Amino acid sequence: MCGIVAHIGSRDCVPILLEGLARLEYRGYDSAGIAVLSRSGEVRVHKAKGRVADLAAGLPARFKGSPGIGHTRWATHGEPSDVNAHPHVCGPIAIVHNGIIENADELRAKLSVDGAVFASETDSEVLAHLIAASSADDLEEAVRQALTSVVGTYGIVVLDARHPDVIVAARNGSPVVLGLGDKEMFVASDVAALVRYTRQVVHLDDGEVAAVRADGFVTSTLDAQTTIKKPSTIDTDAASYDAEGYTHFMRKEIHEQPRAVERALRGRLDSRFHTAHLGGLNMDARQLREIRRVLVLGCGSAYYSGQVGAQLIEDLARIPAAAEPASEFRYRNPVVEADTLYVGVSQSGETYDTLAAVQELKRKGGQVLGVVNSVGSAIARECDGGMYLHAGPEISVTSTKTFTATAVAFALLALHLGRIHDLSPADGRRIIAGLHAVPGQIEEILAGEQHVADVAAELANAKGMFFVGRVRGYPVAREGAQKLKEVSYLHAEAYPASELKHGPLALVNPELPTVAIVPSDELFDKNLSTLGEIRARRGPVIAVAHTDLDPKLADHVIRVPKNEPELDPILLSVPLQMLAYHAAVALGNDVDKPRNLAKSVTVE
Ligand code: G6P
């Protein structure tokens, strides 16, 4: 969602801000803006509804300066417009803000009594007025004073025309990262905006304020206690943030899956005891034996990969396991049990609903592990332990390689739990061999991309589609439908194949294709019966299967190599990603930035 980038140093910061904002585009936004301190010491602001390219194209002549702050905005309070875009200015103060100020109306009313006039409808502008109203001499203290009256979440960067040698950043619930350069410093909400300039970063914690100067930074708490921060090195190379010759990040990330799976597995398979080695769980075998139930929480694709994960845990460890949308869980006053293991799943590690669910669990004394891609993110830090995916940055809004890597991480967790319980060494060996085979098998599926693209081109004309799968195939179907909706905007609904005859079959007709997940497992014959039911109503069928099927049952078969039945969902999902991608391309959609969606949903 919203993105922040800021720079302080001797060079003109405008190109850095524009480049940084372009790097944050993938998160989703509807307007953008920058503010710089000009040579004559005045704050100059340029904002525009639409893309960063529109902002750059409309830049006034000689728009230069330093320091500077920039922002991409996803509208929450107030419609997307030039006026509501950030930075917001009040006198010498300019600010950019991510997050939501919950008591904005109250603060606005108070400030108005004192004569404040607001230009925008945003909650963020209130911050600029509060800081400008402070009587403190230095900017850091003014920011601190202002923040003491604020209720809500924020990641902010503030510029003050009276203090050209400093910018001040602060964080509460919305990420802020400092980038350390050579006689210059950067601030951003996401390392993606920084990797071109520096690999050395410092993540602010909630309740921290940073005074950032060209030659360094000082961090402190809201009550002015100095904090000590150790810089860390970004472990992914800058190229991971580039499309590297691919037309879209989504396709690049689909093709990165064999390597992403290898990274997720690296160093984690223990061939001696036929189990998984997961040092980050921070739970020993005895503690894990106490677990009676597993509940996986996540949103969107993270939730569906959690469903695959819950099934793996039940299959391999025989522990009752389920997945639930974190966005629902957090609002239903959940009963938190001491012997349940809760697992929060998130690519970004920032999704607010998932973070709130994890925080609610922690508050109630629940045991929470994180399965997270983004290192050092809020959810990762909030959990008691967990597993990083190591899938590398995922830029396309639609999750692909992190869905797969999450399912693989759950296979490792399930194997580990299984071997602590009753999974035999022979079965452990079988699963390890299966996991080793996954990267090569994904390569095989990717080699069949043209066939999937041809099928997708045909499906792109459909008005809607069903996705059906049984048991292990059901979360695969749900994720397939989600992918198609997200990028092709075609209506897609997923059902358990077994449920078709209990209602949705009424809709099957020659105009409504069904994508069916038909693995060669113990439910194969049941799935063939489902196909028969659909064909009897002349419904078109696209089957994702391990074998060729009777042409009477399916118009197209997309073949996937067979693995162990428990691991099959990981592979069955891959062609559905390609199907959604190619349908979206055939329809001419903006694949990497689908309408109405953001990569990290950091608001409620
Ligand atoms: C948003 C995105 C989805 C994503 C979900 C969870 O809704 O549009 O594609 O699956 O967030 O994101 P997370 O970063 O928590 O995995």
Pick the atom of ligand 1 nearest to 299's CA. Answer: 6
Which of 34-38, 320-324, 504-508, 581-585 shows the lowest per-residue confidence on average (mean pLDDT)? Answer: 504-508
pLDDT for 242 beyond 90? no
Dist. CA 241 → ligand 1 center (Å): 18
**199 and 88, same domain (yes or no):** yes
* Strand (E) or helix (H) holding 227: strand 226-227
Same domain for 361 and 483, yes or no, is no
Dihedral class, residue 19 (left if φ above 0, else alpha if ψ from -120 to 50, else beta): alpha
- 252 and 379 share one domain: yes
Encode pLDDT of 111-146 as tens digits. Answer: 999 889 998 888 899 999 999 999 998 999 999 999
What pLDDT score does 572 carry?
98
For residue 444, report the distance from its CA to the centre of ligand 1, in Å: 27
Phi-psi sector, 389: left (phi>0), alpha (psi -120 to 50), beta: alpha
* Upper half-sphere CA count for residue 273 (Cβ side, 13 Å): 10
**Integer Cα distance of 120 and 126 in angstroms:** 10
- The pLDDT of residue 367: 95
CA of 372 to the centre of ligand 1 (A): 12
Same domain? 231 vs 292 = no
Rounded-to-integer distance, Cα 338 and Cα 366, Å = 6
- Does the pLDDT value for residue 556 go beyond 80? yes
Q: Is the pLDDT of residue 377 over 90?
A: no
- pTM for the structure as a whole: 0.87
Mean pLDDT of 238-254: 89
Per the DSSP assignment, residues forming a β-bridge with 94 are 89, 159
Beta bridge partners of 177: 188, 203
- What CA dihedral angle connects 381, 383, 388 and 389, to 10 degrees? -120
297 Ramachandran zone, left/alpha/beta (phi>0; psi -120 to 50): beta
Confidence (pLDDT) at 474: 98
* Number of domains making up the chain: 3
Per the CB < 8 A criterion, the answer to whether 10 and 37 are in contact is no
Rounded distance from Cα 341 to ligand 1 centre (Å): 22
Tokens of 601: 């949903």
Among 241, 275, 298, residue at a domain's last position = 241
Whether 465 and 422 map to the same domain: the answer is no
Sign of the C-alpha dihedral computed for residues 400, 403, 406 and 412 taken in this order: negative
Amino acid identity of 96? Answer: V
According to the model, what pLDDT value does residue 108 have? 94
Clarify whether residues 323 and 430 are in a common domain: yes
H helix intervals, 65-212:
104-113, 124-132, 139-148
DSSP type of residue 532: H
Nearest by Cα to 195 from 233, 166, 164:
233
332 in the same domain as 265: yes
Which ligand 1 atom sits closest to the C-alpha of 402? Answer: 16
What pLDDT shows up at residue 174?
Answer: 86
Residue 76 predicted with pLDDT over 80 = no
Per-residue pLDDT band for 249 (boundaries 50, 70, 90) equals very high
Ligand 1 atom nearest to CA at 354: 15
pLDDT average, residue stretch 511-523: 96
The pLDDT tens digits of the residues spanning 9-33 come to: 999 999 999 999 999 988 878 899 9
Q: Looking at residue 601, what is its pLDDT? A: 76
Separation between Cα atoms, residue 335 and residue 487, nearest integer Å? 36
How far, in Å, CA of 558 to CA of 543, rounded? 6
Does residue 58 carry a pLDDT above 90? yes
Q: Which residue is closest in CA terms to ligand 1's atom 7?
A: 300
The radius of gyration of the chain's CA atoms, rounded to the nearest angstrom, is 25
CA 39 vs. chain centroid, Å, equals 39
pLDDT of residue 379: 93
The dihedral through the CA atoms of 551, 554, 559, 564 has a sign that is negative
Contacts of 586 (CB under 8 A, 6+ apart): 456, 457, 460
DSSP-assigned beta bridge partners for residue 491: 464
Residue 80 has pLDDT above 90, yes or no: no
Please give the distance, rounded to the nearest whole angstrom, from the Cα atom of residue 350 to the centre of ligand 1: 9
Q: Which residues are known catalytic residues?
A: 2, 599
The predicted model gives 576-604 an average pLDDT of 87
pLDDT of 564 over the 80 cut: yes
In this prediction, residue 241 carries a pLDDT of 84
Q: How confident is the model at residue 257 (pLDDT cuts 50, 70, 90)?
A: very high
Please check whether residues 363 and 347 belong to one and the same domain: yes
> Ligand 1 atom 4: the closest Cα is on which residue?
300
Would residue 224 be called left, alpha or beta, if left means φ above 0 and alpha means ψ between -120 and 50 degrees?
left
Q: Which domain holds residue 178?
A: 3-241
Task: Please determine, for residue 78, whether its predicted confidence score (pLDDT) is greater than 80.
Answer: no
If you measure from the C-alpha of residue 426 to the centroid of ligand 1, how many angstroms do you get, rounded to a whole number?
Answer: 37
Among 241, 274, 301, give the residue marking a domain's end: 241
Which residue's CA is the closest to the ligand 1 atom numbered 9? 398
Atom index in ligand 1 nearest the CA of residue 482 equals 9
Same domain, 69 and 161: yes
pLDDT tens-place string over residues 37-56: 999 999 999 999 988 999 99
Residue found under tokens 């992403």: 260
Tokens 């990330």, located at residue: 253
Closest Cα to atom 3, ligand 1: which residue? 300
Once rounded to an integer, what is the mean pLDDT over residues 510-515?
96
Best of 599, 602, 603, 604 to mutate for ligand 1, by most ligand atoms within 8 A of CB? 599
Residue 32's closest CA among 76, 62, 2? 2
State residue 490's pLDDT score: 94
Bond prior to 87 in cis (omega within 30° of 0): yes
- H or E segment and range at residue 68: strand 68-73
What is the 354 CA–ligand 1 centroid distance (Å)?
10
Pocket test for ligand 1, best of 250, 303, 348, 489 (most atoms within 8 A of CB): 348
Identify the domain boundary among 226, 241, 256: 241
Residue 399 Cα: closest atom of ligand 1: 9
Alpha carbon 287 to its chain centroid, in Å, reads 30
406 in helix, strand or coil?
Answer: helix
296 pLDDT more than 90: yes
Over range 550-564, report the average pLDDT: 96
Residues 139 and 110 in one domain: yes
Q: Judge if 272 and 414 occupy the same domain.
A: yes
Task: List beta partners, residue 213.
Answer: 216
Whether pLDDT at 487 is above 80: yes
Q: What is the pLDDT, as a whole number, of residue 547?
A: 95
**Token pair 């060669």 in the structure block, residue:** 520
Q: Give the pLDDT band (50/70/90) at residue 473.
A: very high
Tokens encoding 8: 């302080």
465 phi and psi angles, rounded to 5 deg: -150, 150
**Nearest Cα to 529, choosing from 446, 468, 578?**
468
Output the ligand 1 site: residues, CB below 6 A. Answer: 299-302, 346-348, 351, 354, 397-399, 597, 600-601
Please state the atom number of ligand 1 nearest to the C-alpha of residue 300: 10
Which of 303, 343, 351, 377, when mutated, tests ligand 1's pocket best, judged by the most ligand atoms within 8 Å of its CB? Answer: 351
User: pLDDT value at position 411?
Assistant: 98
In the predicted model, what is the mean pLDDT of residues 488-496? 95
Where does 346-472 have alpha helices with state H?
Answer: 352-363, 378-382, 401-420, 425-447, 449-459
Handedness of CA 30, 256, 321, 478 (dihedral sign): positive
* Tokens linked to 451: 């066939």
**CATH number, domain containing residue 43:** 3.60.20.10
Whether 315 shows a pLDDT value over 90: the answer reads yes
Distance from Cα 461 to the centre of ligand 1, integer Å: 27
What pLDDT is attached to residue 130?
96
- Residues 122 and 99: their CA atoms lie apart, in Å, by 11
Ligand 1: which of 1, 307, 347, 353 to mutate, most ligand atoms within 8 Å of CB?
A: 347
401-420 and 257-265 helices cross at what angle (nearest 10)? 30
Write down the mean pLDDT value for the chain.
94
Q: What are phi and psi of 297, to 5 degrees?
A: -125, 135
Mutate to test the pocket of ligand 1, among 250, 299, 484 (most ligand atoms within 8 A of CB): 299
Give just the sign of the alpha carbon dihedral 88, 93, 94, 95: negative
Helix H or strand E segment including 466 = strand 464-469
pLDDT at 151: 93
Question: What is the percent of the chain where pLDDT is above 90?
Answer: 83
CB 128 within 8 A of CB 93: yes
Atom 2, ligand 1: residue with shortest CA distance: 599
What is the CATH classification number for the domain harbouring 403? 3.40.50.10490
Average pLDDT over residues 65-82: 87
pLDDT band at 203 (very low <50, low <70, confident <90, very high): very high
Encode pLDDT of 89-115 as tens digits: 999 999 999 988 989 999 999 999 988
* Kind plus residue range of the DSSP H or E element containing 213: strand 208-213
- pLDDT at residue 1 is higher than 80: no
Q: Are 4 and 155 in contact (CB under 8 A)?
A: yes
Task: Give 519's pLDDT tier (boundaries 50, 70, 90).
Answer: very high
* Residue 197 CA, ligand 1 centroid: distance in Å: 27
Distance CA 333, CA 351 (A): 19
Q: Which atom of ligand 1 is nearest to the CA of 374?
A: 14
Residues 264, 401, single domain; the answer is: yes
Q: Is the pLDDT of residue 269 over 80?
A: yes
